[in-house]
Structure 1
Amino acid sequence: MTVDLNADAGESFGPWKLGHDEELFGLLTSVNLACGFHAGDPLTLRQAIRLAQYRGVAVGAHPGYPDRVGFGRRHLEASPEEVYADTLYQIGALAAFLRVEGLPLHHLKPHGALYNRAARDAEIARAIAQAVRDYDPTTPLVGMGGSALETEGRALGLRVVLEAFPERGYTAQGLLAPRGMPGAVIQDPAEAARRAVQMVLEGWIETVDGHEVALRAETLCIHGDHPNAPQIARHIRAALEAEGITCQTF
């Protein structure tokens, strides 16, 4: 059995540093790099791509809302047409740097509030999926199982890779719990590792309100801005490998 281990990264901006890219990349199999809208800048993007290349980690695009102040975690009233254009624009920014370094675009995964909206809004999900398809229909789209993003991506003929979050809490609807809710963010690396193994082997997880929700985990996400991200990644990888699960790029 195999599973991909990804992280959101490349989120620093100028002298302002965020995340633990240098520590994390050696523990991962893929990364989702900010493309300049919610975080990141051109030099950070270039450096993150080169670090990923050095570590042998696959590089995906991580487009978000144009919201640096809110780190892309605030909902914006963007139309499907705007979301399509913003997504394609951000793909293009990353793809230019990848081309120079001789690397392919491995996948696309929306960021933050855009990801959450695409999980439940079919029009927004279709706009994102259409941008991916128009750029390159062979590029995989990463999203949660049962989401509108999965449905619309598959309807357009894309490969959809299903993602789970061992260091985030879930609601009974199978969506990520809002960050202000108790239990929404898992701080303990050992607990995150336990949840990762359960997600992969058993296909379900406990929700923040004590229910159970089924899920499929083809890739597991670690948020790069989590204060304990490197420790969480180490615990998760060790726990998975102890169960005979190989961490491998999808």
Structure 2
Amino acid sequence: MVTAIVLPDFSEASERLRGRNVRAGYQRGYGLQYGNLVNQLHQDELYNKAMELARERTIVHEQKRMNLYLILRFGFEGLAPGHIVEFGAYRGGNALFMAAVCRELHPGTKIYAFDTFEGMPTTDPEHDTHRAGDFKDAGHQELVELIEKEKIDNLHLVRGLFENTAEETLRDIGSVRLSHIDCDIYSAVKYSCTMSEKYMVDGGYWVFDDPLSADCIGAMEAVEETLIQGNGRFAEQVYPHLVYRNWPPS
């Protein structure tokens, strides 16, 4: 089911530099933007099978989902055990996708998808262009029924404001290897980044969907305050996602 994928060769790039794996970031980002990884992934049986679950329930650009696939497939080696959290699930497409991939590649890994499933909470016009109620067509009940129908037992929906649900859930989860943050607005991005950091394993990933989007400058501000100014981290990857790692800067 898992086909051979040839990553770009950046063998001379440092495996570990300033809290990031430069070689891995180049392989994923360059391969998707300029190389032939897109074509390779379109031929990958597991990727395509997982996409079938996500296709009708996501608005995220496909290359971002490809990047998540590459991290799940090649990026977890050597990391301590841990689960995956997603802040901002909307209609569940990416969570379904990651659950399908992990069921094959990482049995025992669970995906916890956090969202109000009722649209955006109150936003701050000094930071955000989105408004309360945006993305309210999440279709929570349809998603629940799909999860039951497909017997996706490694995906758990966590409904409510992050501030009301995340801390207790993460405490129960214990360890996180990947935090996929796709919640658009300043307060939500900052909270989810800070909260997931407490449980992130060494070398774990933050994958941000929004900060480089023109309508999500507040998301970038949150990343700057938490990971760049707050912790002195440097990005491992800037295309198609902004990706950081949980290694201390060196």
TM-score, length of structure 2 as denominator length = 0.34
